[in-house]
Chains A and B, each alone.
Chain A
Amino acid sequence: DTEVTQTPKHLVMGMTNKKSLKCEQHMGHRAMYWYKQKAKKPPELMFVYSYEKLSINESVPSRFSPECPNSSLLNLHLHALQPEDSALYLCASSPNPRGGGETQYFGPGTRLLVL
C-alpha cells in the first residue's frame, strides 16, 4: 500500500468556522508533511512531523494548527481563516525523516475555499 489518503476532498468554510483536514498513511513512514499550494504555483511547505513530533514550522500563522496523534495520522486544524488561505492542501509522507534521498508520497489534496 503506497497510498496517502486525505479527507475531505473539498471543503468550503466561512471565516468564523472551525474545521479539520485529515491525512492518513499505512506505509510505516515516520515523516509527514503539510503543504499549501496556490494555483499555478509549487507546493509551499507548512509543517513537518518527524517521529510524531513537530520538527519544522515554516512560520505558519497560528490559525493553522497541526496535530500528529500517531504515526499514521496527521491532522490540520483550521480556525478563523482568511479568503487568501483558499488553496489546495497537500499531505505527504516519507520513510525516514533523516534520509536525504527519500521519496515523498503525496496525497490527492483537499481543495479549500474560504468565504
Chain B
Amino acid sequence: AQSVTQLGSHVSVSEGALVLLRCNYSSSVPPYLFWYVQYPNQGLQLLLKYTSAATLVKGINGFEAEFKKSETSFHLTKPSAHMSDAAEYFCAVIKNSGTYKYIFGTGTRLKVLA
C-alpha cells in the first residue's frame, strides 16, 4: 500500500542555512510524489511533484527534491533558508482507489531563526 513517512515533525534552521526536509515513501508501483507547503491559516500550495520524468525536480521558491528509488526517498531541499519559508510542509503520494487520491505524511513544521 502506498504511504509516506516524514521524519521530524519540527525542523529549525538559521536564515541562510540549508533546508532539508525528509520524506520516505512506500509504494508497490512507481509512485507519484508531491511536496506541498501550508502557511498559517491558508490552504496548501504545490511546491513540486515527481511523475517519473527527471529524478531531480525543481519547484517554486528555490526548492528542489530528488527522487531516489534505492533509498525510497524524496527529500526536499533549499540551499538558503529565508524567513518567509517558515511554514508546514507535507509530502504526499498518490493512491489509486479507482479514483486517485493523496496520502499525506504527518507534516514537518519549518522554523527559520534570524
A interface, CB within 8 angstroms of B:
4, 31, 33, 40-43, 45, 48, 50, 55-56, 88, 90, 92, 97-109, 111
Contact of B32 among A31, A56, A100 (CB under 8 A): A100
Q: Within 8 Å CB of B94, what residues of A? A: 100-101
A43-B104, A101-B49 as given contacts; A109 in contact with B43, CB under 8 Å:
yes
Binds A, one of B13-21, B75-83, B95-103: B95-103
Q: 16 A–B contact pairs at CB < 8 A?
A: A4-B43, A31-B99, A42-B90, A42-B105, A42-B106, A48-B99, A55-B99, A97-B99, A100-B96, A101-B49, A101-B52, A104-B46, A106-B45, A108-B42, A108-B43, A109-B43
Mostly helix, strand, loop or mixed at chain B's interface?
A: strand
Contacts of B96 in A (CB 8 A): 100
Q: What residues on B are CB-neighbors of A41 within 8 Å?
A: 106-107
* Residues on the A chain within 8 Å of B28, using CB: none
A90 touching B49, Cβ below 8 Å: no
Known: A42-B104, A100-B32, A111-B41. A56 touches B97 (CB 8 A): yes
Q: A4 — which chain B residues lie within 8 A by C-beta?
A: 43
Residue ranges of B at the interface with A (Cβ–Cβ < 8 Å): 32, 34, 36, 41-46, 49, 51-52, 90, 94, 96-102, 104-107, 109
Look across to chain A and name the residue whose beta carbon is closest to the beta carbon of B101.
A45
CA distance A55 to B100 in the complex (A): 10
- Complex-state Cα separation, A40 to B25, whole angstroms: 21
Question: Nearest 7 pairs between A and B by C-beta?
Answer: A106-B43, A101-B51, A42-B104, A106-B44, A55-B99, A101-B32, A108-B43
